[in-house]
Amino acid sequence: MDWQTKLRIARPAARKLARQGRLIDETFKIFQRTVFPGAPPDQVAALRTTFFAGAQEVFVLMTAGVDEGDEITDGDMAFMQGWAEELERFHAKTIAAAQASGKRQ
Domain that holds residue 30: 3-65
92 and 49 co-located in one domain? no
Q: Is the pLDDT of residue 98 over 60?
A: yes
- For 27-76, the pLDDT digits (tens) are 999 889 988 889 999 999 999 999 999 999 999 988 888 888 888 889 88
For 22-88, the DSSP string reads -HHHHHHHHHHHHHSTT--HHHHHHHHHHHHHHHHHHHHHHHHHSPSSSSPPHHHHHHHHHHHHHHH
Domains of the chain: total = 2
39 and 90 co-located in one domain? no
50 and 17 co-located in one domain? yes
55 and 100 co-located in one domain? no
79 and 51 co-located in one domain? no
pTM, to two decimals: 0.70
50 and 93 co-located in one domain? no
